[in-house]
Amino acid sequence: MQRRHVVQYGAAGVGAVALMLGVGWWRVDGPGAPKPAGQRPLPLSAMDFRLTDHEGNKVGPETLIGRPTMVFFGFTYCPEVCPTTLSDISGWLEDLGDDAARMNVVFITVDPERDTAEAMAEYVGYFHPAIRGWTGPEDQISRAVEAFRASYERVPTEGGDYTMNHTASVFLFDAKGELVTMIDYHEPREFAVPKIRRALTEDVEGAT
């Protein structure tokens, strides 16, 4: 079973050491990685799921309403997409400076069998402190994925192990819980950060 990656981020967004082998890379990180489902995610206010954050607090979509939100689906044994994206997100948050404190940033596992709250706490600890890890029962994870119009599936690998095939985009919502846009995997920082600032600007305008 793969060990979790120890990832440090910096101002330049340090990437993770990857284990890109065989079908695991193809299905999760390469040309076989899934695209978003093609439908617009529901507003956060219309979603209904119950999860637990990495500190053991009960959370759900209502937890996110009131501040702009970034959501990313993945898992702690992810070989490349997840540590790379969380490093990217960490860099974006550094660029935002004090404005980063105005955002919710959530990493939701698609592998609750292995990703307990304790495992999520260890994993998100390697990234920006604003990032929260959410986990929970399989049925509630499925409800969350469906509401975001994302996708995931379990993919067997050699030796009886498995990896997870999952949507790799970051979902960006405004403070009212409406989708602003999505940030693609490996999207350059000069495009990603203005999208986030747009969500923050809509938050300010909505408050006036």
Binding-site entries: 78, 82, 166
| Strand, helix or coil for residue 19 | coil
- The conformation of residue 88, written as its DSSP 8-state character, comes to H
Q: Name 187's Cβ contacts closer than 8 Å, sequence gap at least 6.
A: none
Cα angle 3-129-16, degrees, rounded to a multiple of 5: 35
Longest Cα–Cα distance of the chain, Å, equals 58
Binding region for Cu cation: 78, 82, 166
Q: Report the sign of the C-alpha dihedral through residues 70, 65, 207, 99, in that order.
A: negative
Q: How many CB atoms lie within 10 A of CB 30?
A: 13
